[in-house]
Amino acid sequence: MKSKLKFWNQLFLFVLILLILLFTRAFFWHLLIRLKIDSYNYHTLISIITNLILIIVSYVFIKRNNLFVIAGLKQVKLKRAYLLLFPVLYLCALNGIFMDDLNANISFTNILIFSLYVITIGFAEELSIRGFLQSYFINHLGNSKKGVIISVFLASLFFGLIHIINFDKGIYGELSQIGFATFIGVMFGFLLIVTKRIYPLVIIHAIIDFVGDLDEVGAKITTKIVEPVSLENSIFITLFTLPCLLYGLFLMKKYILKAE
């Protein structure tokens, strides 16, 4: 009884802190807009600070629950590194294809701050979702095939759901956002289980975000951007990210379900 209560207490506290951080970040973004502060650097620095706090919080929760090994942070060597090629090549190519023209007024400071941002987002999202949340579920449900699979899907679905906090893409856009974030979460979740190390995922995550967000660097931020996505585009986005889910299911079938 006590162990179940501790499980839910830790889970609730972590999710609460995470949501507070995300809503606080959104509050300060909107505050800058209301104050007519349109600097890309100032808005991005808010995200960097939020990421740094989340990194610290995630590490504390991982340490408190002794999840270092499950989270791929200690005492394990990288395995099957070649499996990491697909996500970085496919998602970078996908982001590159749909990249808009770069801002002609990008400065060295913009690039520096943007680079720091993608590094911190890589650490923040991987340590929080895969490092703590997924590992915490595995630690509670058990390291059996069933426990691992349920844990990966639970963490991935949560990863998908938190992407709709801003709700700025319309109903179809938000549904597709949940879909592609969940698909990527499943892929990254099983990659952590199979490769045993989280740091390569952090690097890959940062590289993918660098390519995906490069066209936004240096742009002035004067209003909350609301871009409703049509049903057709929502389906299009989902289909293009479906290979990530399929790759995750391939990893699950080959390295988890068939494991001795």
pTM of the predicted structure, to 2 decimals: 0.93
Could you tell me the CA-to-CA distances from 165 to 72, 77, 217 in Å, in that order? 28, 36, 22
Per-residue pLDDT for 133 more than 80? yes
Dihedral, CA atoms, 194, 91, 164, 238, nearest 10 degrees? -100
The pLDDT score that the predictor gives to residue 102 is 86
Number of domains in the chain: 1
Among candidate residues 74, 48, 206, 208, the one with its CA nearest the CA of residue 131: 74
Determine contact, residues 238/176, Cβ cutoff 8 Å.
yes
Min mean pLDDT across 50-64, 117-131, 145-159, 218-232 is at 218-232
pLDDT in tens, 20-76: 999 999 999 989 999 999 999 999 999 999 999 999 999 999 999 999 999 999 988
pLDDT band at 168 (very low <50, low <70, confident <90, very high): low
Determine contact, residues 214/101, Cβ cutoff 8 Å.
no
3-state secondary structure at position 194: helix
Domain that holds residue 145: 2-257
Min mean pLDDT across 72-86, 171-185, 203-217, 236-250 is at 171-185
Per-residue pLDDT for 130 more than 60? yes
